[in-house]
């Protein structure tokens, strides 16, 4: 069996067991009949491989699979991590699944097409991840779009965050001891030093970004209820790919769909709303409505 196929196996096993308990034979048939296994040309799956896979699934994703319930010899998901971690693991699995599917189908470049626009700075991710895990002080040069200047930075790297297809480093700047976000595409001359910093920070980033849209300075404003009205067609797109986990449908106006969110009304969110043009209208809060009016008026000046 191909060694680089293990992540796909884990994803398929979890997908099958989330439907219902299954015997080894049922799991084996499910895997061998999957399109993923067929594309990879895999025609066998032993009980020993299953047992190894279940141990790795437990270690990687904190998801315990057992086969001792009522003596029926069926494998089933016995326990899983807390909800937030489980959601993270699910996204990780989906990423693995797509990545492995593309590796299997690498010869079918006429069937799968990628956007030519790629985020910058991805070459920094591994080094920064290493720095975060090992509490290493890091140095780099950073370009500021507003001042159009490049400045040297020395930081305590704490986390990496993806937002709207861009990656950001969340770190404490040693110059002023403030928590900041740095776009990886604007980082150059990165150096992970041998010096370690004392991890005296108690940031809970899951909680910190819980009501966030983007990575703007969240301390500047509090999260609040935001209500928008969308055309039926645009609303269905937003239901299919939610803007935020707090999103919920709260009603209809004529044929339009009304959504409610609870988040920080950041500039990133304002930009997202503006990108939908006439298809989306903000109903509340008034402060966001006023801000959008100002932006629209300024935009109009560009065409007169």
**CB-based burial label for 143 (10 Å; 0-12, 13-18, 19+):** middle
In this prediction, residue 98 carries a pLDDT of 58
For 187, the 3-state DSSP assignment is strand
Q: pLDDT at residue 214 above 90? A: no
What would the mean pLDDT of 220-226 be, rounded to a whole number?
85
In this prediction, residue 85 carries a pLDDT of 55
Cα distance between residue 175 and residue 157, in whole Å = 14
Percentage of residues in the chain having pLDDT higher than 70: 83
Better-scored residue on pLDDT, 55 or 208: 55
| CA angle (256, 257, 260) in 5-degree steps | 145
In this prediction, residue 79 carries a pLDDT of 82
DSSP assignment string, 255-281: TEEEEEEEE---HHHHHHHHTTGGGEE
Task: Check if the beta carbon of residue 40 is closer than 8 Å to that of residue 106.
Answer: no
In this prediction, residue 292 carries a pLDDT of 95
Q: pLDDT at residue 52 above 60? A: yes
Q: CA nearest 203: which of 236, 231, 180, 228? A: 180
Per-residue pLDDT tens digits for 100-127: 555 554 555 566 666 667 778 888 988 8
Per-residue pLDDT tens digits for 68-80: 766 678 999 888 7
Mean pLDDT of all residues in the chain? 85
Pair of tokens at residue 5 = 């196929």
Q: pLDDT at residue 293 above 90? A: yes
Better-scored residue on pLDDT, 91 or 35: 35
Per-residue pLDDT tens digits for 224-251: 999 999 999 999 999 999 999 999 999 9
pTM for this predicted structure: 0.67
Walk me through the domains of the chain, giving residue ranges and CATH numbers.
3-103 (1.10.10), 122-209 (2.30.30), 219-301 (3.30.70)
For 244, the 3-state DSSP assignment is coil
Cα distance between residue 241 and residue 270, in whole Å = 18
What would the mean pLDDT of 284-301 be, rounded to a whole number?
94
In this prediction, residue 36 carries a pLDDT of 75
Report the run of H or E that residue 290 belongs to, with start and end.
helix 286-301
In this prediction, residue 4 carries a pLDDT of 55
What would the mean pLDDT of 279-283 be, rounded to a whole number?
95
Better-scored residue on pLDDT, 83 or 273: 273
- What are the E-state strand segments in the chain? 64-66, 76-79, 136-144, 149-163, 166-173, 178-183, 187-196, 224-230, 248-253, 256-263, 280-284
């Amino acid at each position: 069996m191909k060694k680089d196929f293990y992540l796909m196996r884990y994803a398929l096993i979890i997908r099958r067991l989330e439907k219902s308990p299954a015997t080894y034979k049922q799991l084996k048939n499910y895997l061998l009949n999957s399109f993923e296994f067929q594309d990879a040309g895999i025609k066998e799956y032993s009980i020993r491989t299953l047992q190894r896979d279940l141990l790795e699934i437990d270690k990687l994703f904190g998801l315990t699979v057992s086969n001792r319930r009522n003596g029926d010899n069926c494998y089933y998901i016995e326990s899983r991590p807390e909800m937030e971690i489980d959601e993270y693991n699910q996204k990780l699995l989906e990423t693995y699944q797509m990545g492995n599917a593309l590796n299997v189908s690498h010869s079918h470049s006429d069937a799968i097409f990628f956007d030519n626009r790629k985020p910058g700075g991805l070459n920094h991710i591994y080094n920064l991840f290493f720095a975060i895990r090992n509490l290493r002080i890091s140095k780099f040069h950073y370009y500021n779009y507003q001042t159009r200047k490049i400045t040297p930075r020395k930081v305590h790297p704490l986390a990496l965050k993806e937002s709207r297809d861009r990656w950001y480093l969340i770190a404490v700047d040693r110059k002023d001891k403030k928590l900041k976000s740095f776009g990886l595409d604007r980082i150059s001359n990165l150096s992970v030093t041998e010096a370690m910093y004392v991890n005296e920070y108690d940031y809970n980033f899951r909680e910190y970004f819980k009501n966030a849209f983007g990575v703007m300075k969240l301390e500047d404003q509090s999260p609040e209820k935001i209500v928008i009205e969308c055309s039926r067609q645009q609303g269905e797109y937003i239901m299919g790919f939610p803007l935020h986990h707090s999103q919920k449908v709260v009603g209809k106006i004529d044929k339009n769909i009304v959504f409610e969110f609870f988040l920080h009304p950041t500039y990133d969110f304002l930009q997202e709303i503006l990108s939908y043009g006439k298809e989306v209208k903000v109903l509340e809060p008034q402060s966001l409505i006023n801000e959008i009016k100002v932006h629209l008026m300024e935009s109009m000046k560009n065409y007169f």
